[in-house]
Amino acid sequence: MSDRASGSTRADEARSNGGRNRRDIVVIGASAGGVETLMRVVARMPADFPAAVFVVLHLPATGKSFLPQILDRVGPLEVVQAVDGQPIEPGRIYVAPPDCHLLLENGNVSLGGGPKENGHRPAIDQLFRSAAVAYGPRVVGVVLSGVLDDGTAGLRAVRKERGIAVVQDPDDALYPAMPLNAIAGARPDHVVTADELPELLNDLTHSNVESDVRDFPDLTMESEYAELPPELPEAEPPGEASGFVCPECGGALWELQDGELTRFRCRVGHAYSAGSLLADHSESLEAALWTGYRALEERAAMARKLATRLNDRGQSRTAKRFEEQAKAAQKHGRTIREVLLGLEAMPEPAELEDRSKSPS
């Protein structure tokens, strides 16, 4: 395409001066509603966009992602699925593959198979954090439509390293929870609609950065977990022992207060925001209740079968005891069933709905 040819000319120019004085790294995170939003953004990107763009969309661990092909058709920039060790090229969009963290190193893409963050791999926070560590103020981080709050901690990391934080206007998002939480927890520099975002990104990537100095050792340590290094950091995770356990591996969780944001991480690297931890524990609780409900129903069925056999043999007194056990098991099962029905009717955690009522 001619548009892409002209885009590659600008990319060559950016590569020749190293891009060291400009914001040349854009990282974007999205979840539910993200495909539609990303299509709106990519369709309006200029053909001569001078930065490299990296996208994490929450995906199932199995199967193939067709997001690169979808986005490649709607806009002038080349869109590819990220490959481990791939050089970073300006004017290109890199999409995280399923079940791999998309990470940035100086000049290259890295794919990590490390622990999940907020229950996801790829995780938005991991992409943002690695970009902040590697590129500091040259990074623009963007949080789009989605549920819960993956991306908030990562956007805070971008801001700590003096990058620019951008969030989709919650009123413009199909699922506003992720933007709302990012506004409350990261206090972004810009809140815009998806249609306004390409022009803003173009302006930001043509502006200079004042300093490339960065030094946040906690970010570096947290970023290392995503690549599952042969040796985990010797130091314990930052923060204080929380008294909670990791839903993924059962290990102890450390609680880290990151400004107004509370986060948790276990020794092997699984990480959660408070909202994601509550959501995962809710899933574990529901699974345990279903297991209990199933066990009680099986106990009742087994007791009834034994009672029938004993009655057939004329052992009515023993059969009666089994019938009583069947009734007791059914009664307890009905109690658990009522609890399960109550769980289905529970509202979202108040923290996730109310944290950003006033984004001041």
Contact 262, 254 (CB under 8 A): no
- Considering 48, 58, 101, 110, which one is annotated as catalytic? 58
Contact 11, 89 (CB under 8 A): yes
Q: Which two tokens stand for residue 223?
A: 């970023």
Residues in contact with 248: Cβ distance below 8 Å, sequence separation at least 6, in sequence order: 115, 116, 119, 266, 270, 280
Give the residue among 208, 204, 202 at the shortest CA–CA distance from 49.
202
Active site residue 145: no
Active site residue 65: no
- Considering 150, 172, 258, 280, which one is annotated as catalytic? 150
Rounded to whole angstroms, the Cα distance separating 82 from 32 reads 21
Rounded to whole angstroms, the Cα distance separating 101 from 88 reads 16
Backbone angles phi, psi at 275, to 5 degrees: -65, -40
- Considering 8, 31, 145, 276, which one is annotated as catalytic? 31
Contact 205, 140 (CB under 8 A): yes
Active site residue 207: no
User: Residues with catalytic annotation?
Assistant: 31, 58, 150
